[in-house]
A and B are shown apart, each in its own frame.
Chain A
Amino acid sequence: MLRTLTLTLSMTLAAATATALPALAQDGPLKIELTDGVSEPMAITLPAFHGDAEVAGRIRDVVAADLTGTGLFREIPRDAQVARPGSFGEAIAYEDWRAVDAQALVSAEVTQSGDAISVKFRLFDVYAGQAQGDRMQFDARASDWRRAAHKIADQIYARLTGEQPYFDSRVAFVQETGPKDARIKRIGVMDYDGQNILWMTDSSSLVLAPQFSRDGRRLVYTSFDSGFPQIRVMEVATVASRALTQDTNSMAFSPRFSPDGRSIVFSREQGGNTDIWLMDAASGAQRPLVQSPAIDTAPSFSPDGQRIVFESDRSGNPQLYIVGVNGGEPTRISFGDGRYGSPAWSPKGDLIAFTKQVGDRFHIATMRTDGSAEKTLTESFLDESPTWAPNGRVVMFTRVTPGGNGQPRLHSVDITGRNMRPLSLDFAASDPSWGPLMP
Chain B
Amino acid sequence: MIAWKKPAAAALLLALAACAQPAPPVTQPAVIDPYASAGGGALYQGDLAGGTLGTEATAQYFNDTVGNTVLFAANQTTLTAEARGILARQAQWLNTHANFNAVVQGHAEETGTREYNLALGARRASAVQEYLIAQGVGSDRVRTLSFGKERPREVCSDEACYAKNRRAVTVVSPAGAGS
Interface set of A (CB-CB < 8 Å, partner B): 179-183, 206, 208-209, 227-229, 248-249, 251, 253-254, 267, 269, 271-274, 295, 297-298, 311, 313, 317-318, 339, 341-342, 355, 357, 360, 362, 381-382, 384-385, 400, 402-404, 406, 431
A-B contact pairs, 6 of them (CB 8 A): A273-B123, A297-B115, A298-B116, A313-B116, A382-B111, A431-B114
Expressed in whole angstroms, the Cα–Cα distance for A133 and B135 within the complex equals 76
Establish whether residues A267 and B115, one from each chain, have CB atoms under 8 Å apart when the complex forms: yes
Establish whether residues A253 and B127, one from each chain, have CB atoms under 8 Å apart when the complex forms: no
Establish whether residues A269 and B112, one from each chain, have CB atoms under 8 Å apart when the complex forms: no
Establish whether residues B126 and A311, one from each chain, have CB atoms under 8 Å apart when the complex forms: no
Which of B14-22, B55-63, B145-153 lies at the binding interface? B145-153
Establish whether residues B113 and A267, one from each chain, have CB atoms under 8 Å apart when the complex forms: no
Contacts of B75 in A (CB 8 A): 317
Expressed in whole angstroms, the Cα–Cα distance for A403 and B157 within the complex equals 5
Which chain B residue shows the least CB distance to A180?
B155
Known: A180-B152, A181-B151, A269-B146. Contact between A381 and B119, CB under 8 A?
no
Establish whether residues A274 and B153, one from each chain, have CB atoms under 8 Å apart when the complex forms: no
Task: Name the distance in Å between A414's Cβ and chain B's nearest Cβ.
Answer: 22
Expressed in whole angstroms, the Cα–Cα distance for A251 and B144 within the complex equals 9
B94 contacts the other chain (Cβ, under 8 Å)?
no
Known: A180-B155, A271-B126. Contact between A342 and B144, CB under 8 A?
no
A-facing residues in B93-123 (Cβ within 8 Å): 110-116, 118-120, 122-123
Interface set of B (CB-CB < 8 Å, partner A): 75, 77, 110-116, 118-120, 122-123, 125-127, 129-130, 143-146, 150-157
By CB atoms of chain A within 10 A, which of B77, B126, B155 has the most?
Answer: B155
Task: Name the distance in Å between A180's Cβ and chain B's nearest Cβ.
Answer: 4
Contacts of A253 in B (CB 8 A): 115, 118
Q: Classify the secondary structure of B's interface with A.
A: mixed
Expressed in whole angstroms, the Cα–Cα distance for A385 and B116 within the complex equals 12
Establish whether residues B111 and A274, one from each chain, have CB atoms under 8 Å apart when the complex forms: no
Contacts of A295 in B (CB 8 A): 116, 119-120, 123
Contacts of B115 in A (CB 8 A): 209, 253-254, 267, 297-298, 311, 341-342
Contacts of B77 in A (CB 8 A): 272
Task: Name the distance in Å between B165's Cβ and chain A's nearest Cβ.
Answer: 9
Task: Name the distance in Å between B114's Cβ and chain A's nearest Cβ.
Answer: 6
Contacts of A209 in B (CB 8 A): 114-115
Expressed in whole angstroms, the Cα–Cα distance for A249 and B146 within the complex equals 12
Which chain A residue shows the least CB distance to B75?
A317
Establish whether residues B114 and A311, one from each chain, have CB atoms under 8 Å apart when the complex forms: no
Known: A249-B143, A272-B122, A274-B122. Contact between A183 and B113, CB under 8 A?
no
Which chain A residue shows the least CB distance to B120?
A295
Establish whether residues A208 and B113, one from each chain, have CB atoms under 8 Å apart when the complex forms: no
Establish whether residues A254 and B118, one from each chain, have CB atoms under 8 Å apart when the complex forms: yes
Contacts of B153 in A (CB 8 A): 181
Which chain A residue shows the least CB distance to B152?
A181
Establish whether residues B114 and A342, one from each chain, have CB atoms under 8 Å apart when the complex forms: yes
Which chain B residue shows the least CB distance to A248?
B143
Establish whether residues A274 and B113, one from each chain, have CB atoms under 8 Å apart when the complex forms: no
Expressed in whole angstroms, the Cα–Cα distance for A431 and B148 within the complex equals 15
Task: Name the distance in Å between A185's Cβ and chain B's nearest Cβ.
Answer: 8
Known: A272-B126, A295-B123. Contact between A382 and B118, CB under 8 A?
no
Contacts of A271 in B (CB 8 A): 126
Which chain A residue shows the least CB distance to B113?
A341
Instruction: Supply 17 further A-B pairs (C-beta < 8 A) apart from A254-B114, A273-B122, A339-B112.
Output: A180-B152, A181-B154, A206-B150, A229-B146, A249-B143, A251-B122, A251-B146, A272-B77, A272-B127, A274-B122, A298-B115, A341-B112, A342-B114, A342-B116, A360-B111, A382-B110, A400-B110
Known: A295-B120, A403-B157. Contact between A272 and B129, CB under 8 A?
yes
Which chain B residue shows the least CB distance to A316?
B75
